[in-house]
Amino acid sequence: MRVVLWAYFPDAEEILSKGAWATVSHTVASDIQVSADDVEKMIRFAKTKKLSSILDFPYYVFSIEGVSRSFTHQWVRYRIAAHMQQSLRYVKVDTSRADWFVVPPSILRMGIDATEKYIRGMLEAGRRYQELVSLVNPEDARFILPMGVKTHISSAFDAEEMIHIITQRTCFDAQWEIRTVAWCLLLAGLIVHPRIFSGVGPHCINIIDGRCRGFRRIRNCEEKAKQLHDTIQRLASKYRHRFEEMHVGEVLRIDLTEYLGFKVPEDFLKELQKRLGLSIDPSLYVLLEIVKRE
């Protein structure tokens, strides 16, 4: 999985602050001068009072790659956003490779037998797709593809919607794929605009909410959420300084596999490859990239 933040306003915190202070001033927003303290106060006030018009000013464009169609079916339900996704009508899936589908970590944790059964089923679907795509157009051949087929999607949304997504989907009740993306969004937000995304997280630890809204289907989920939130904050602090020193156009890359992904053991991988006769690695690798904007 690869999550890329590639478009945003670097000075969004100052922009929204100027616009907000202008609403209680005789001075137009473009002429207002704001201090760091002014920015801090206004962002805190806007988040506490949920002033959506203020948080609508910052905009973010993400591209998400190596996720399943199961994920994107959930993702596009965020309608206060714009989405553009890879088309399976015009793009043929290369099922001759062994990495065209997602393997859920829960299946990997079940052991090598369950993993082998799952992968063989996907490979069979891929073979049938190749047979069909030589007979009919991809628009109709795609019907045989499983929901685990990998895709990529680009999405644009404002800070208010991004905070909404993070708050909902960092919860441990959320489906694992969209939860992983949500934690990536939080880290990206904390690096580029730390004042906007400070205190943002799942409902149980959100500075505005502070109460569980999930079903607690995972044991000790609130404790796990707090631990992961602390980790994300530490990573943000670590990488923010490096990001600030980067030149425009450079890309900050953060491997989050250790915290959000799942890497299969080496002996597991060797035995799986031996059984399948394929060079395949079903591990979930998670990479966050942030492009330095001017």
**Alpha-carbon distance 93 to 129, whole Å?**
9
- In this structure, what token pair is assigned to residue 256? 């989050």
pLDDT beneath 70: ranges in the chain: 207-210, 214-217, 219
C-alpha 86: how far from its chain's center? 17
Provide CB contacts within 8 A for 50, sequence distance 6+.
Answer: 208
pLDDT at position 64? 98
E strand residue ranges, the chain: 2-8, 59-68, 82-85, 150-158, 251-255, 287-291
- In this structure, what token pair is assigned to residue 99? 């990495």
pTM, two decimal places: 0.94
pLDDT at position 131? 95
CA within 13 Å, CB half, 135: 8
Among 142, 169, 179, 195, the one annotated catalytic: 169
Q: In 3D, which of 54, 257, 6, 1 has the Cα closest to residue 155? A: 6
**Alpha-carbon distance 39 to 34, whole Å?**
7
Check residue 101 and report its DSSP letter: B
Judge whether 169 counts as a catalytic residue: yes
**Alpha-carbon distance 66 to 37, whole Å?**
41
